[in-house]
């Protein structure tokens, strides 16, 4: 039995402490590199409560804050695309590396910003995946031994089949904790993930703060994490069963049904979280468009919406009484929630 309280998921003070600490150390997944190929391509995302834009110039990928230097108006509204960077409010103009290069009627200003660059984050790459990092080197530090493994997994990607962003009216921790909970799947997802009942063959692993689950309906599938890593590094990724890598704090890399998928809980505010989901097909497992469609519609997004409903209902109740204290009894299938909370301290 453990004690918990509503304020853990509702307090602005707790939230601010969390994000101020997290943003210094833990990179955020942005996109796969195929979406930033041409000059002017951009992707909008959230980095611990602030909006950022990742853009491709001729030379490189840059990441900068989505706030105009003039009066902080958001430069981009669309989630992704290919456009010039011109502030919609008064027309200040930036290049693809986030440098201010044009001001309409410039002579009407007495003072102008000395630093011409929008506030930047470091782009860090693991295989085909782009992350935004406060400090160079954070990605490798955070991934540890998983870095090379995820790199190999990403190199086996054929192409992005599906990506979407789904808004949850909920605190980010409620979203992550739900993703670390295998106990709810039978009840909440009876027709897909919970169809076979409670997990029988499964093993939990840890790599630093990253929590890993291997499971399978098939007794013959290997749940050996060390062997998986060794084989992956040798270029042979075992795609059998379910393999879920929960990268601290809020990204999950998921291997099942011949796909590599992602869920990324992007923190918008203490009350709002965006789940950026991605589905990639694999080079060595060709699948038909119909199979992809079925997986995305009947399985993956269905799961996400079923979770969204429970999580939002949970949050709603927590909001009703923010000084409520309650007890929790965690099963073996929910043990990792404790580890996540501890890692966050």
41 binds, options Fe ion, ligand FES, none, Cβ within 5 to 8 A by partner type: none
Q: Which is nearer to ligand FES, 55 or 171 (CB)?
A: 55
> Which residues fall within 8 angstroms of residue 114, CB to CB, at 6 or more apart?
none
Shortest reach from residue 90's CB to ligand FES, in Å:
3
307 binds, options ligand FES, Fe ion, none, Cβ within 5 to 8 A by partner type: Fe ion
CA distance 294 to 279: 12
CA distance 96 to 338: 43
Q: Which is nearer to Fe ion, 18 or 307 (CB)?
A: 307
User: Which DSSP state fits 296?
Assistant: I
Shortest reach from residue 324's CB to ligand FES, in Å:
42
Residue number of the CB closest to Fe ion reads: 307
Q: H helices within the chain, ranges in order?
A: 7-10, 12-25, 138-143, 146-155, 172-179, 185-188, 225-233, 289-294, 301-320, 335-344
Q: Which is nearer to Fe ion, 130 or 247 (CB)?
A: 247
Plot region of 111 (φ>0 → left; ψ -120 to 50 → alpha; else → beta): beta
Shortest reach from residue 85's CB to ligand FES, in Å:
11
Shortest reach from residue 65's CB to ligand FES, in Å:
12
Determine whether 319 is exposed, middle or buried from the number of CB atoms within 10 Å of its CB (0-12, 13-18, 19+): middle
Per-residue contact string for residues 295-314; x = within reach of Fe ion by CB under 5 A: ------------x-------
- Interface with ligand FES by CB under 6 A: which residues? 68, 70-71, 73, 87, 89-92
Q: Are 192 and 316 in contact (CB under 8 A)?
A: no
Shortest reach from residue 23's CB to ligand FES, in Å:
24
- Site of interaction with Fe ion (CB under 5 A): 307
């Amino acid at each position: 039995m453990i004690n918990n309280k509503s304020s853990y998921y509702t307090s602005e003070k707790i939230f601010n402490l969390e994000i101020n600490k997290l943003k210094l150390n833990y990179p955020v997944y942005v996109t796969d590199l195929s979406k930033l190929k041409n000059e002017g391509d951009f992707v909008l995302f959230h980095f611990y409560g602030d909006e950022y834009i990742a853009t491709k110039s001729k030379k490189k990928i840059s990441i900068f804050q989505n706030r105009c230097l003039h009066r902080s108006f958001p430069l981009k509204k669309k989630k992704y695309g290919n456009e010039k960077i011109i502030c919609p409010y008064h027309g200040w103009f930036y290049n693809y590396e986030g440098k201010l290069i044009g001001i309409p009627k410039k002579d009407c200003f007495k003072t102008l910003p000395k630093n011409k660059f929008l506030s930047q984050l470091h782009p860090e790459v693991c295989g085909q995946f782009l992350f935004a990092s406060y400090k160079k080197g954070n990605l490798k530090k955070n991934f540890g031994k998983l870095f090379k493994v995820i790199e190999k997994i990403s190199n086996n990607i054929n192409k992005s089949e599906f990506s979407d962003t789904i808004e949850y009216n909920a605190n980010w921790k409620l979203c992550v904790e739900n993703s670390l909970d295998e106990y709810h799947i039978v009840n909440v997802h009876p027709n897909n993930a919970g169809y076979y009942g409670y997990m029988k063959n499964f093993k939990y692993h840890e790599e630093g703060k990253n929590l890993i689950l291997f499971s399978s309906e098939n007794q013959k599938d290997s749940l050996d994490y060390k062997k998986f890593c060794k084989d992956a590094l040798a270029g042979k990724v075992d795609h059998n069963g379910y393999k879920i890598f929960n990268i601290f704090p809020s990204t999950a890399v998921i291997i099942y049904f011949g796909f590599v998928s992602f869920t990324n809980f992007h923190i918008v505010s203490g009350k709002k979280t965006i789940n950026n989901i991605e589905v990639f097909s694999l080079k060595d497992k060709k699948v038909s468009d119909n199979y992809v469609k079925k997986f995305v519609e009947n399985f993956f997004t269905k799961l996400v919406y079923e979770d969204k409903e429970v999580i939002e209902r949970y949050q709603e109740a927590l909001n009703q009484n923010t000084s409520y204290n309650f007890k929790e009894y965690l099963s073996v299938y929910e043990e990792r929630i404790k580890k996540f909370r501890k890692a966050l301290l």
